[in-house]
Chain A
């Protein structure tokens, strides 16, 4: 037990200090994950709403693609973005490989299908009565989609939470396109990998606890929004 006890006390000591380096890692994690979630939601929720509501050509293959994308391994997403952003790659001229921008792009690629897939499920699950009334309002596609999102709000909030959970917890994509450069592209998950590899278990656990607290806070806020009955 003394091993676990030592690790735990070291973790608590580091947490109580909460040094500059740790703050930097936490800040970058928050910025990258929230930006990737925002992009994922901004693109994925409309896509999921269209998939959930609409009957259009190409809907089925798109739905298959989204569902497959929900299970895409982060390392593969990282690899794809790496190939795109590589010096000689199609977007190599951007020169953003191994920067937080590249990490945001890679994580967005993971967030979009999750946001779209969960939204499609929530909107598609609206009752036939709700959908028929929505049709009967005779609204344009955007306005109808917006009301559908409001109506399926608890499910759409779950889509946001799932997208955030996906990006904040993954390590493969940010590691490949970010490179885990200390002070530049190191985030909580890659830092945990680093510390664990060097047998710095106290530091790794401290980072893990921060990650969990972060996820708890974001999801707590989302759950509160999810449960609040929207009136206006």
Chain B
């Protein structure tokens, strides 16, 4: 299937195979990476996972990669001697330069800054400028390395949404180590650890159903519990973790050591002792032991015989009146948990 971008460039899926850097693949070794035309793939992973090197391979900055016709924006936005307006138009034809100004405006770069020297711009302003310039180019793909990292936290989600809106059918591969950014920017996410992609899939699925504990750790899933498997039921199997019986997706024999993984955002909390309505198969009673702010959300650790982590908004915390010691029911859908061998 091919689509046509506003610049008329024929677009097709991006498929790259056997991406290795250096030749022995010690930094990056990715067997296959594919993104459908116009798709948005977020490459997510911890520092040093090889994300930037992967992007640089695709961009052709380091040798050994495929030839991807892409506009690339490196992690650190550098501005050259000259005015901000001149920098914004670098490498662009007049039509593209005009479009870059529209985009820069969308990303919140004040046009009054155009006449001044680019070096007077702040890190965030430089990033907005570079982003606008990169997106104004005609290539059918954009490769963006941490495109929002230099922005104030308060502006990130706004610019992220504007970025997605400004792709106009272009495909994007975006590197980030921020979960929220990944969730806004990506349709799919590839989790990269130790130079390889461990899991690739829709963002929600990957974040709530990591395939193994390395992915779980990388995506910041807080719940990784060890136990012994019990009955099976269709695609589900159960695992006994201390006093808890946990149902999840898995295909393991009975009575073997196993591990269950589920995301903190897959956990629903109900106040009190009574289980409220809902279809979650896993329900356990517990008490709130810790409340911790993590960026915009609050991480709640519930002692249900085993510690279970949940993520809630500050609004929910107020509504549920969650305080340390408060009784809660923890609910997790079986399809949101994955049971893997240990």
Contacts and interface: CB of A to CB of B under 8 A. Distances in A.
B59 A136 contact: yes
Contacts of A232: 82-83, 86
Contacts of B74: 129, 132-133, 136
B77 interface: yes
Contact of A129 (B76, B82, B90, B134): B76
B292 interface: no
B71 interface: yes
Of all A-B residue pairs in the complex, the 8 with the closest CB atoms, nearest first, are A133-B78, A137-B91, A129-B76, A132-B74, A136-B72, A231-B117, A130-B78, A129-B78
A137 B90 contact: yes
Most buried by B among A139, A151, A231: A231
Given A150-B81, A151-B81, 19 more contacts: A130-B78, A132-B56, A132-B76, A132-B78, A133-B76, A133-B77, A133-B78, A133-B130, A134-B78, A134-B80, A135-B72, A136-B59, A136-B134, A138-B137, A153-B81, A229-B117, A231-B81, A231-B117, A232-B86
A139 B91 contact: yes
A229 B73 CA distance: 26
Contact of A147 (B56, B73, B80, B134): B80
30 contacts: A127-B78, A129-B74, A129-B76, A129-B78, A132-B56, A132-B61, A132-B74, A132-B76, A132-B78, A133-B130, A134-B78, A135-B59, A136-B59, A136-B71, A136-B74, A136-B134, A137-B91, A138-B71, A138-B91, A138-B139, A139-B91, A150-B80, A150-B81, A150-B82, A151-B80, A153-B81, A231-B81, A231-B83, A231-B117, A232-B82
B83 A135 contact: no
Contacts of B61: 132, 135-136
Contacts of A127: 78
Contacts of B134: 136
Interface of B: 56, 59, 61, 71-74, 76-78, 80-83, 86, 90-91, 117, 130, 134, 137, 139
A223 B77 CA distance: 29
Nearest to B120: A231
A139 to B, nearest CB: 5
A232 to B, nearest CB: 6
Interface of A: 127, 129-130, 132-139, 143, 147, 150-151, 153, 229-232
B305 to A, nearest CB: 51
A73 B81 CA distance: 37
Contacts of A139: 90-91
B86 to A, nearest CB: 7
A186 B78 CA distance: 50
A202 to B, nearest CB: 48
Contacts of A147: 80, 90
Contacts of B137: 138
B138 to A, nearest CB: 10
A131 B252 CA distance: 52
Nearest to A143: B91
Contacts of B77: 133
Contacts of B56: 132
